[in-house]
Amino acid sequence: MKNNDFLKFFSLFALSVFILFILMIVMSIVTNISLETFYYALFSKEIQFAIKLSLETASIATIFGTLLGVPAAYALARYDFKGKNIVDSVVELPVILPPLITGFALLVFFGNTVFGKFITEHIIEILFTYKGTIVAQFFVATPFIIRTSKSVFECIDEKYELIAQSLGSKKYESFLDVVIPMAKNGIIAGVILAWARSIGEFGATMMLAGATKMKTETLPIAVFLNISLGDLEKALAVSLIFLIVATLVLFIIRLILKIGENNDRL
């Protein structure tokens, strides 16, 4: 077997094994619920609330993450400053911390520190509200936008910005008009990852926002509540609904991106 053929065989084999593993997990959910339970769960007020809250909070958290994460990534990619390596590592802390510890740390910050208590008492009520869900999702998802965007910014030659500035653009204009369009695909990839991480967030959300039915009940929280009540079939139905919603949204986003890329080529 030629080297290229071996590489093709091995890579396709590895891909097939992983896809098969995913499909087996999905099928273990699908084959253990009845159609009646699925319809009952899908059209129940509780699950419709959970779907709406999941989509809403994940989208808001991702928007805030993008507004903060993209310029932060640019700073890490373009500027040198003291302690940059430490800052670069700190950015990744929310990714490597266990979700329960992340949620507990957020709970302590907003509930027991002077600055955190000032925010919750005078600016925005976070503890055990749906706003806490958004904060938890924002905290764990933003590093994905920063990391992905930073990698793309580092690959873009700075001379393009200097040329734009030499032609009269201000620095922020060269960033918006030159760098952002060139980094568009990488930024969007980070945004998709962040949204996917947000909608699947559970541990940090439960610690900061709590698990209250029809109040802070996202889809992962709904699965947890139904397992706690011993209603395993409904928990499986909610899990399947979560898989369908997440897959559909990601498919739509990728379709929009594909259409955008095709339009750019025209």
For the four alpha carbons of 12, 257, 137 and 72, in that order, the dihedral sign comes to positive
Query: Mean pLDDT, to the nearest integer, of 168-173?
Result: 86
Predicted pLDDT at 3? 62
Same domain, 55 and 120: yes
pLDDT (tens digit, 9 = 90+) per residue, 122-169? 888 999 999 999 999 999 999 999 999 999 999 988 888 888 888 888
Residue 224 and residue 222: Cα distance in Å, rounded? 5
Same domain, 120 and 170: yes
Predicted pLDDT at 264? 63
Query: Mean pLDDT, to the nearest integer, of 68-97?
Result: 91
Q: How confident is the model at residue 33 (pLDDT cuts 50, 70, 90)?
A: confident
Query: Mean pLDDT, to the nearest integer, of 207-216?
Result: 90
Contact predicate 140/177, CB 8 Å: no
Predicted pLDDT at 131? 93
- Checking if the pLDDT of 208 tops 80, the result is yes
Residue 58 and residue 199: Cα distance in Å, rounded? 5
Same domain, 10 and 52: no
Predicted pLDDT at 71? 94
Predicted pLDDT at 165? 87
Same domain, 11 and 122: no
Same domain, 61 and 19: no
Same domain, 90 and 18: no
Predicted pLDDT at 6? 84
DSSP collapsed to 3 states, 72-103: HHHHHHHCCCCCHHHHHHHHCHHHHCCHHHHH
What is the extent of the structural domain holding 126?
A: 35-264
Same domain, 5 and 41: no
| Percent of the chain topping pLDDT 70 | 96
Same domain, 215 and 233: yes
Structural domains of the chain, count: 2
- Nearest Cα neighbor of 190 from 143, 121, 124 is 143
Write the CATH number for 138: 1.10.3720.10
Same domain, 14 and 65: no
- Checking if the pLDDT of 266 tops 80, the result is no
Torsion of CA 53, 125, 221, 219, to 10 degrees: 10
For 186, the token pair is 């990488």
Query: Mean pLDDT, to the nearest integer, of 195-224?
Result: 91
**Average pLDDT score, the chain:** 89
Same domain, 13 and 119: no
pTM here is: 0.86
Same domain, 22 and 58: no
Same domain, 27 and 58: no
